[in-house]
């Protein structure tokens, strides 16, 4: 499903006014949904020479570790951790949503989705597997449109040290974490068939509540249970998918602002400012405020687009 904005692509949206609670979302877990390892000869392509000719001359050339090394050097705050990987998502009978999930990690995400040779990976994925994403990590993100009790949505200005979309306005978000279920198990040791699928669903829903609390400083008891609205892709990171939620907050815009400006939240350094937009501005935001829309992260654009579709409100 395409949109008018080239930064995003919509994978799935619930039926209008049918936002789904946790108990209506199911997951199917399988190593078949993991990133596929590309054939060794893929690294002979000129794209890899251009990226790092000196390293490529080594017979043990590892492009993902090479990208990771460059990123760590430029941003020592980065750290690796396992993530979920979404292969597909669809609605089924009785209003349920089913996600097909594998696992990946952040190092592979930066080393594929954000690599300078990603277009070659995508073209080979299409050629060999009829799937442009086959060789990409596609680490699954989560994000939420959080609505105050006086009908404002909140956005955070991402810090310049953020690995993705620095200096843009974004919705609160991050990643669901396999370690919350199984601990710090290395990627290669995770056995998906041993995971409890209901715990995976709970982690996906719970992770967005953690992110809102950790980034905005809103107590959990002031947040409603998240409702799933849809899933979208960030086309500026080669189609990286994110699950979109709606969360209602029992605080007003001014009360949220007071909590945010305290700066006591655990991830206060990930943003430098907060912005509130009235719900009435959202349906036509691209037209009414194109400058602001242009400064929004793709994840924010995706969340807002999915939110409007899920509510059946008009879009540009």
pLDDT at 116: 87
pLDDT at 95: 74
CA distance linking residue 123 with residue 135, whole number of Å: 10
Domains for the chain: give ranges and CATH numbers. Answer: 8-311 (3.90.79.10)
pLDDT at 161: 86
pLDDT 10s digits, 7-36? 999 999 999 989 999 999 999 999 999 999
- Evaluate if residue 60 carries a pLDDT over 80: no
pLDDT at 234: 97
Q: What is the DSSP letter of 36?
A: P
* Percent residues over pLDDT 90 in the chain: 78
Band of pLDDT at residue 50, cut at 50, 70 and 90: low
What are the start-end ranges of the H helices in the chain?
46-51, 53-56, 63-74, 106-112, 118-129, 179-182, 197-216, 253-262, 285-288, 290-294, 298-311
Instruction: Supply the mean pLDDT for the chain.
Output: 92
pLDDT at 58: 53
Average of per-residue pLDDT across 109-134: 94
Instruction: Please answer whether residues 248 and 147 qualify as being in contact, where contact means their C-beta atoms are separated by less than 8 angstroms.
Output: yes
pLDDT at 77: 86
- Evaluate if residue 94 carries a pLDDT over 80: no
63: closest CA among 117, 127, 106, 125?
117
pLDDT 10s digits, 138-170? 999 999 999 999 999 999 999 998 888 999 999
Average of per-residue pLDDT across 210-222: 97
- Report pTM: 0.93
pLDDT at 45: 65
């Amino acid at each position: 499903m395409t949109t008018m904005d080239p930064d995003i692509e919509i994978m799935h949206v619930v039926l209008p006014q049918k936002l789904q609670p946790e108990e209506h979302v199911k997951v199917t877990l399988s190593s078949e949904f993991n990133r596929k390892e590309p054939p060794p000869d893929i690294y002979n392509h000129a794209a890899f020479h251009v990226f790092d000719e000196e390293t490529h001359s080594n017979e043990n050339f590892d492009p993902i570790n090479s990208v990771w090394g460059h990123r760590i050097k430029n941003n020592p705050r980065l750290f690796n951790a396992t993530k979920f990987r979404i292969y597909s998502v669809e609605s089924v009978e009785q209003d349920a949503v089913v996600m097909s999930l594998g696992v990946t990690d952040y190092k592979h995400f930066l080393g594929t989705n954000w690599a300078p040779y990603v277009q070659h990976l995508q073209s080979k994925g299409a050629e060999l597997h009829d799937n442009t994403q086959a060789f990409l990590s596609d680490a699954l993100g989560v994000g939420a449109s959080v609505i105050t009790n006086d009908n404002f949505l909140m956005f955070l200005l991402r810090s310049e040290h953020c690995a993705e979309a620095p200096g843009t306005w974004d919705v609160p978000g991050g990643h669901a974490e396999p370690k919350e279920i199984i601990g710090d198990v290395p990627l290669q040791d995770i056995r998906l068939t041993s995971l409890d699928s209901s715990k995976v669903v709970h982690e996906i829903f719970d992770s967005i509540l953690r992110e809102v609390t950790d980034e905005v400083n809103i107590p959990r008891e002031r947040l409603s249970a998240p409702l799933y609205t849809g899933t979208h892709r960030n086309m500026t990171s080669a189609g990286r998918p994110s699950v979109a939620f709606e969360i209602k907050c029992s605080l007003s815009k001014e009360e949220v602002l007071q909590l945010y400006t305290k700066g006591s939240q655990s991830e206060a350094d990930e943003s430098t400012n907060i912005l509130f937009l009235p719900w009435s501005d959202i349906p036509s935001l691209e037209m009414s405020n194109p400058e602001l829309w242009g400064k929004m992260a793709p994840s924010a654009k995706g969340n807002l687009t999915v939110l409007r579709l899920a509510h059946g409100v008009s879009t540009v």
